[in-house]
Amino acid sequence: MTKKKLNVGLIGYGFMGRTHSNAYCQVNHFFDVPYKPVLQVVYGLEENVAKDFAGQWGYKSYTTDWHKVIEDDNIDQIDICVPNNMHAEIAIAAAKAGKSIICEKPLALNGPQAEKMVEAIEKAGVANLVSFNYRRVPAVTLAKMLIDEGRLGKIFHYRANFLQDWTISANVPQGGMATWRLDVKAAGSGVTGDLLAHCIDTAMWQNGRIDSVCAMTETFVKKRMHVETGKIEDVGIDDACTFMCRFGNESLGNFESTRYARGHKALYTFEINGEKASIAWDLHDLHRLSYFDHSDESIVRGWRSVHVTDGDMPYMDKWWVPGLQIGYEHTFIHQIADFLKGLAEGKPASPSFREALATQYVCDAVLASAKDKEWKTVKKA
Ligand SMILES: NC(=O)c1ccc[n+]([C@@H]2O[C@H](COP(=O)([O-])OP(=O)(O)OC[C@H]3O[C@@H](n4cnc5c(N)ncnc54)[C@H](O)[C@@H]3O)[C@@H](O)[C@H]2O)c1
């Protein structure tokens, strides 16, 4: 099949810039999609880093001015991989210029800003996707399939954790590459927007909308040096957040995230308990789906550990042979494959900006609940 070229402008050469570049490079090797991404230009703050990145990944040019990427008529797609406070301005400009857009999560700093982004992309009618990549871990996609098939029956409980330990030291600064996450002006919030947004997106995808929340947050280290000013400044992010919630289907949710769980680097786990069966998953063992089926004969009934590598399991027919694993980076390849397929068929891949707005509203309600110490109803997207 002759593939149509899709000229990509990448905004950001950091962690996500690398995962997205890798996905563009790999997608045609493994997925039969009608587009061939062409890496045209990369933007980043530092010229020498942008130049090296362009050389390493095969971008034809580089720039330290993202506006130039949007203004370039040769660019079809804008891929946003910069700190959260830059998403809105770039996405709105890209939509006005008629480009398709992939935007990293969380969509924006807050709900009102995300609403403006949704309005802009819907008005322009451009293809859009927000990079909640954990949906596309094969075991996580399989969990969604099992729920949709009704195998769990009525769902009672959804619990998820996302635990890290890398900001315990008060010497970790705020602002700058990677540590912009600790600067509330750049990040919008702490673990709520950074980590819980993933858990919330997956949870609502699997178990439906979240209606109301009751949360608590804490900032354990209250002052940190700011990389950009060199001064010790107040820390405005939530270092830890725990919330309970009610889903629209009457099930109860429990979510916890922190960067102060000594011993945990990126422990994202969820467990879903239904009337007929339960499911559990752990990012550190991402190919395994734990499954308990109450209809099994009692003398052999127990938690099964399903190794999600067979060809009839989500995405796995595109990779190696049963029993052999894939990894984190493949979730981004799946994401771009689904996006390109949707682009050709006029069927958008999920989650759209509007779906990500729903996650943003839950994050807003969580932060408001923690601040006011009361239950909050979540706005509907
Ligand atoms: N989907 C995921 O699992 C996942 C994982 C990590 C990050 N993210 C999201 O991706 C986006 C980018 O995160 P990242 O980890 O790639 O960031 P990073 O710090 O690794 O890279 C940041 C990029 O933004 C540019 N930049 C422009 N202005 C900046 C400033 N004032 N401070 C810092 N960098 C600046 C840098 O040059 C660099 O190219 C964020 O929205 C983040 O939430 C998503």
Ligand 1: which of 42, 81, 259, 283 to mutate, judged by most atoms within 8 Å of the beta carbon?
81
* Atom 19 of ligand 1, nearest CA residue: 178
- Mean pLDDT on 22-33: 98
- Mean pLDDT on 112-138: 98
Average pLDDT over the chain, rounded to an integer? 98
Looking up tokens 């940190």, which residue turns up?
A: 224
Ligand 1: which of 69, 104, 331 to mutate, judged by most atoms within 8 Å of the beta carbon?
104
Any atom of ligand 1 within 6 Å of the Cβ of 84: yes
pLDDT in tens, 180-191: 999 999 999 999
pLDDT in tens, 323-342: 999 999 999 999 999 999 99
Using the mean position of ligand 1's atoms as its centre, give its distance from the Cα of residue 18 in Å: 10
Band of the pLDDT at 2, cuts 50, 70, 90? confident
Using the mean position of ligand 1's atoms as its centre, give its distance from the Cα of residue 144 in Å: 29
Tokens of 215: 């949360």
Instruction: Judge whether 254 and 264 are in contact, CB under 8 Å.
Output: no
pLDDT in tens, 73-117: 999 999 999 999 999 999 999 999 999 999 999 999 999 999 999
Distance separating alpha carbons of residues 307 and 139, to the nearest angstrom = 8
* Atom 43 of ligand 1, nearest CA residue: 105
Distance separating alpha carbons of residues 65 and 122, to the nearest angstrom = 26
Amino acid 1: pLDDT: 62
- DSSP track, 246-309: EETTS-EEEEEEES--TT-SSEEEEEEEESSEEEEEEGGGTTEEEEEETTS-GGG-S-EEEE--
Distance separating alpha carbons of residues 184 and 174, to the nearest angstrom = 9
pLDDT in tens, 289-333: 999 999 999 999 999 999 999 999 999 999 999 999 999 999 999
Q: For residue 193, which atom of ligand 1 is closest to its CA? A: 43
Contacts of 212 (CB under 8 A, 6+ apart): 245, 246, 365, 375, 376, 377, 378
pTM value > 0.95 = yes
Amino acid 17: pLDDT: 98
Q: Looking at the chain, how many residues does it have?
A: 381
Distance separating alpha carbons of residues 300 and 274, to the nearest angstrom = 20
The amino acid occupying position 343 is L
Instruction: Judge whether 182 and 235 are in contact, CB under 8 Å.
Output: yes
- Other CB atoms within 10 A of residue 18 CB: 18
Distance separating alpha carbons of residues 33 and 350, to the nearest angstrom = 17
- Other CB atoms within 10 A of residue 310 CB: 13
Give the Å distances, CA to CA, from 4 to 97, 102, 128: 20, 18, 18
pLDDT in tens, 199-217: 999 999 999 999 999 999 9
Of 18, 42, 14, 47, give the one whose Cα is nearest residue 177.
Answer: 14
By CB neighbour count within 10 A (0-12 exposed, 13-18 middle, 19+ buried), where does 245 fall? buried
- Mean pLDDT on 123-142: 98
Start-to-end CA span in the chain (Å) = 39
Any atom of ligand 1 within 6 Å of the Cβ of 303: no
Instruction: Judge whether 164 and 264 are in contact, CB under 8 Å.
Output: yes
- DSSP track, 317-329: GGSS-TT----TH
Residue 52 has pLDDT above 80, yes or no: yes
Using the mean position of ligand 1's atoms as its centre, give its distance from the Cα of residue 12 in Å: 7
Residue 172 has pLDDT above 70, yes or no: yes
Tokens of 342: 């949707």
Any atom of ligand 1 within 6 Å of the Cβ of 266: no
